[in-house]
Structure 1
């Protein structure tokens, strides 16, 4: 029987997974290199979809001590929340020992985690956000480590696409850029000139994607579903240069029509 690949991904989601990387991985604090490893792995805790770096303890130039217990970090956490890469590192879903790190004058409570797993014996998982800067070889990594099994494909199209919020037209184009990203819903990126800027207000919210760059957001004022509804990658990474000067909307909170056919938006996530 043929194997349907994407459902297989969700079947292994509850497991602790890892993938070795041949790249040199470094982390810096205050201009000093605290982590320097050529034996790193990308580790995925159970129910997490984005990886974190794990390195041999000997590749960390810091004192590692057991962290004091701090209650149950998973209490009341819905399964889908753990899939958000912004969710706290401290919400560990695998058995193991949280660790505090001390490097010179820098103290990083709970920034390490030693899993109880034979395949990762001697490795320490590290909180990406606890360090000032991460490097793969000499390239800065933003947001979180890149997943080697993740693709982002941006394709020009001539399909007619329009997006509404409760019937109010927000954008309409015959020149969409369709972005297909692994395990995520397709996104339509509109030329700026095809967006109704009179209904959008700039937001203070920003997000960082390791594949695309840093995004600015806009909201539709006075609408409960309009907060941070649209975004554009103002600081685009080289691999996603096509997204420059394009604007996208959350399909999940809007009505989207492609060639005059209303789209049924379904989540790809399975819990």
Structure 2
């Protein structure tokens, strides 16, 4: 059975204002509470002890691991409501039982049970915090009614704004919105989000520290400049950002190794067993290999081979963006490299086995035979396929442009497309044959000037052609009239 994430005992700080109301007073008002999974699936809040006024804590009941207190406000008491932890990672944190106070609030919205698990639920909260967005010292947005989104995955397909500053500078990719969000995050429709790593955000007048993004654009360029400077001109020449993302992860896998997993995928099991394999990817059984999950040892020869040859696939840009991305750096490029590399390894191993003579059996288990092998982990999506073992998958579609929907529809309806294509081809072939036959027959009858014969041919052809062209009566009258005119 898969081990759930987060497991029991896991905890983390959350940037979310949480308030507890008891007898007309907010006894807790915390901006950074701690979310603790005492058991899987249902987290609870813990608060620093300093967030509760000491006079509210009465009737101390000492314990080895925690002290228990009553909660007393303006003469009203909630017995054994507060637990103050004395040991471990949660030392000096307090827990207040949900049903021991009158109401709980996350930001400005009341909650009626335990908090939602942010790893499994999308959360949209209305807040009254004053939020200001500044770019190069210019305030571009300000509100006292922001929506706070806590997402497990992408809430929809984003559309981006171009921000024009007073000095004429245009900033791309810093602000986005969702015209049609998923139903779980419908509350963010009509709202704009900003890229925290690249803008200044003030909350209630306090400037937030910009978060650090692993493998940011600047960090990625520094890595390539330091380790693979020959590739930078190609990296900069890519027209689509996803091409830079794809190529970068190939070079990271080459240099550092490890396991790469797209943010659209989640883990169902420990990945420790996969470390046995020197290089692997996932295969959906639909043609090209997937590149959303990759694994390899550092400096694996496959990634060296692929990155050394990636330049050759950037010589031509196709009219459709999807084709360009797929062939230049995406799934089709990766699959082509996989097949070519595998062929070379198979030829080498064949030579190893046949040159070993009587020791061929030992060759199959040797490091020289197995170290460069490639492996595929099945993640088939067809109906009736075996369930996935290591990962699940959410909706991404963050980079696809207008033409992706065409290819996606064709892929999802391949059987239907084939049937329609065959039917149309056969129908057009039959129609063409009948029209050619008709023209040949008419030509012979015109030359012979035989009216009766022409009428008989017309009568013969009309029932065949009439369902395809025009009603039988009209076509028969036309032929008869034409025949009389020729006489």
- Give the number of the structure whose residues are more often helix, by fraction: 2
TM range (shorter): 0.3 to 0.5
Q: Which has the higher contact order (CA 8 A, sep 6+)?
A: 1
Q: TM-score, normalised by structure 2?
A: 0.23
Q: TM-score, normalised by structure 1?
A: 0.40
